[in-house]
Amino acid sequence: MKKSNSLFDLDVLLLLVLGIFAGAFLYDARTYNATAALFPRLVSIVTLILVVWSIALHLVSVLAKGKRKPEDAPPAGAEGSLAWYWSVAAMVGYVVLIYVVGFTMATLVYLLVLPLLLGYRKYLNILLTGGLSTVAFVVVFTYILHARIPQGVLGEFFRQLMARS
């Protein structure tokens, strides 16, 4: 995908949309009690900080392009890189998988497949990071935050099947 020299390209527009969603979640979290609002506030604030940081880096990059020579520019699309719309499709697929196979399996699949899509080929690192991150998420949500993890349609089916035997 070719990088734009414009201050307002599609990446900035998507970052602004993400920032609006994060701001809306932060605003909505003000009605929650202190315990319930902790996680949405934390995620929203970190997201807003990262959005502002990314937009600032883009702005600096666009302004600096006028000062450097064309041969200094990095290549437009690196080998093994993934276009933004595939990243969005992977995230949407992850959310759908949560409802089908449950949070644990969907997270494991997502964390194992996405690095491969991005061109990362150190399979042991992918396996360790994906597996340990999935275990960490399940432990944090189940035992620390005491949140119910979605089991998905298949997870509920297998749970009921095991309960009958």
Tens digits of per-residue pLDDT, 45-89? 999 999 999 989 888 888 887 665 555 544 555 555 566 677 778
Which secondary structure element, helix H or strand E, spans residue 60, and what is its range? helix 34-65
Q: What is the pLDDT of residue 152?
A: 87
Same domain, 70 and 28: yes
Q: How confident is the model at residue 1 (pLDDT cuts 50, 70, 90)?
A: very low
Angle between helices 103-117 and 152-164 (to 10 degrees): 140
Query: Could you tell me if 59 and 118 lie in one domain?
Result: no
Indicate if 72 and 83 belong to the same structural domain: no
Q: Are residues 87 and 134 in the same domain?
A: yes
* Concatenated DSSP letters of 17-47: HHHHHHHHHHHHGGGS-HHHHHHHHHHHHHH
Same domain, 83 and 60: no
The pTM score is: 0.56
The contacts of residue 113 (CB under 8 Å, 6+ apart) are: 90
Domain boundary among 77, 93, 122: 77
Q: What is the DSSP string of 102-141?
A: -HHHHHHHHHHHHHHHTT---HHHHHHHHHHHHHHHHHII
